[in-house]
Amino acid sequence: MDGILNIYKEKGFTSHDVVAVVRRTINQKKVGHTGTLDPDAEGVLPICVGKATKLADYIMNSGKTYEAEITLGAKTTTQDASGEIISRTDFVFDEDKIAQAVLSFKGSYMQLPPMYSAIKVNGKKLYELARKGQEVERKPRKVDIYEINIIEFLPPDKIKISVDCSKGTYIRALSEDIGDKIGCGAYMSALTRTRSGRFNVQNSIKLDKLKELCDNGNVMDKVLTMEESMADYKKVYILPKSDKLMHNGAKIYSYCFDKKSDDVAIGETVIGFDSSSNLNGIYKTEYDTDKKCIVIKPLTILL
C-alpha cells in the first residue's frame, strides 16, 4: 500500500497515537503523519503509507482551514483550554468591535510561536522546555491569513471563527492575538481542522471506520494515490531513452521531455514520470547554462 489516508483525528488522540493505530490496523510498517494536531483538537490528519511517507513534507506545505472557538476575557498558560488561567479582564461583548478585530488579521502578520509548540530551539522542542517551566526567546514568523470570518457570536464571552491560512500558523496564538487586539485577552477553547491541502473533512474517515474497511477488504477505496495527492504540481513526462537516467536519480534535460508534459518555469517544484507514466519522484527545475535549456533535478525519488 503506497498512498495517503485522510483520517479524521478525534479528541484525546495525539498525532502519534493515530499513526500507531493506523500502522496496526492496516499492518504496514511505514506510516507517518503530515503535521501534528494537539490532543484536544480534532479534524483532518492525512496519514502517509509506504512510499508516500516521502511526500509528507510536500503535503505539510499546503494551506490549512480551521474552525475555532475563542473564549474572550481570559488568558491561559498554553493559549488554549488545557492550560491554567493566568489573567481575566472584564469587557463588553461588542459584536462590531469584535468583528473589526477579527477581520483585521486577514493578510500577512508576524506571529510569535507559542511556547507549547513543536518548534525546536537549540535542538529542543519548545513544549518540552515549557513543561519544565522554562520560557525562551522566540522570533516572530510571518504567517498568511488568506480568509478569516466569524461563524457565530456566542455571548457573553465566546465567538466561533473560520480561518484559511498558511502552513505554520498557530490558531492558539492567533486567538490570543485577537483577544489582545480587542483589549480583553483570549484563548482558544476548541479547534477543528477542516482542510489540509487537498484533504477535507467531508472525505475523511475515523479510525473505527478504517478498521471496518480493513475487515471488509475495502480499505483501498479510501487510499489516495501518490499522484492524486500531488495533483496541484505540474507534471513532466520523459521519453523512453531517458528512463534509465530517471530511475537512477539523474537530472533530466528538457530535450528529453515528452510533449505531453506541462510547461514549466525555472525554480518550480514538479513531479516527474517515466515513459510508462509511473510517478518517479519530485524534482526542482533549473536552467543549465551550458546546454541552454531547463533541467529537472531530483529532490525525492519514490520508485
How far, in Å, are 79, 139, 205 from residue 119 at the CA level? Answer: 16, 11, 28
DSSP bridge pairs for 235? 271
Q: Each residue of 20-66: pLDDT tens digit?
A: 999 999 999 999 998 888 889 999 999 999 999 999 988 888 899 99
Instruction: Determine the pLDDT at residue 193.
Output: 97
List strand residue ranges (DSSP E) for the chain, in order: 3-9, 31-33, 42-49, 64-72, 74-76, 85-88, 107-111, 120-121, 124-125, 141-154, 158-165, 186-196, 199-200, 223-224, 234-237, 252-253, 269-273, 279-288, 293-301
| pLDDT tier, 11 (very low <50, low <70, confident <90, very high otherwise) | very high
Same domain assignment for residues 128 and 274: no
Tell me whether residue 261 is in a domain. Answer: yes
Q: Is the pLDDT of residue 116 over 80?
A: no
Are 129 and 204 in a shared domain? Answer: no
User: What total of structural domains would you count in the chain?
Assistant: 3
Helix axis angle, 207-216 to 15-26, nearest 10°: 10
H-helix segments, 104-164: 126-131
pLDDT averaged over every residue in the chain: 93
CB 273 within 8 A of CB 236: yes
Cα–Cα distance between 39 and 269 in angstroms, integer?
33
Residues annotated as part of the active site: 38
| pTM metric for this prediction | 0.90
161 and 214 in a single domain? The answer is no
Contact 71, 160 (CB under 8 A): no
Residue 246 has pLDDT above 80, yes or no: yes
User: Can you tell me the distance from the alpha carbon of 64 to that of 67, in angstroms, rounded to the nearest whole number?
Assistant: 10
Would 174 be classed as within a structural domain? Answer: yes
Residue that wins the pLDDT comparison between 136 and 281:
281
| Domain containing residue 43: CATH number | 3.30.2350.10
**pLDDT score at 90:** 96
Q: Could you tell me what percentage of the chain is helix, strand and coil, using 3-state DSSP and rounding each to the nearest 5?
A: 25, 40, 35
Q: How confident is the model at residue 303 (pLDDT cuts 50, 70, 90)?
A: confident
Q: Is residue 255 part of a domain?
A: yes
Q: Checking phi first, is residue 155 left (phi over 0); if not, alpha (psi -120 to 50) or beta?
A: beta
Report yes or no on 193 lying in a domain. no
Residue 36 lies in a domain: yes
In angstroms, the first-to-last Cα distance of the chain is: 13
Enclosing domain of residue 110: 67-188
Does 220 map to a domain? yes
Same domain, 253 and 162: no
CATH at 294: 2.30.130.10
- Residue 133's pLDDT is 72
Average pLDDT over residues 145-151: 98
pLDDT of residue 59: 87
For residues 271 and 292, state if they share a domain.
yes
Together in a domain, 221 and 238: no
Contact 76, 172 (CB under 8 A): no
Indicate whether 129 pLDDT > 70. Answer: no
Say yes or no: 100 and 143 in one domain. Answer: yes
Residue 165 lies in a domain: yes
Q: Of 40, 43, 24, 23, which is closest to residue 32 (Cα–Cα)? A: 23
Residues 265 and 281 grouped into a single domain: yes
Tell me, what's the pLDDT at 200?
A: 95
pLDDT score recorded for residue 227: 92
Q: Are residues 152 and 211 in the same domain?
A: no
pLDDT of 79-88, one tens digit each? Answer: 999 999 999 9
Residues 56 and 203 in one domain: yes
Residues 140 and 208 in one domain: no
Q: What CA–CA distance (Å, rounded) separates 162 from 270?
A: 31
In the chain, what's the furthest Cα-to-Cα distance? 73
pLDDT at 130: 66
Whole-angstrom CA distances from 228 to 11, 154, 238 are 28, 40, 19
Asked if 84 and 162 sit in the same domain, the reply is: yes
Q: Is residue 207 part of a domain?
A: yes
Percent of the chain with pLDDT over 90: 83
The C-alpha cell at 61 is 506545505
| Segment 239-250 mean pLDDT | 95
What pLDDT shows up at residue 117?
67
pLDDT of residue 216: 92
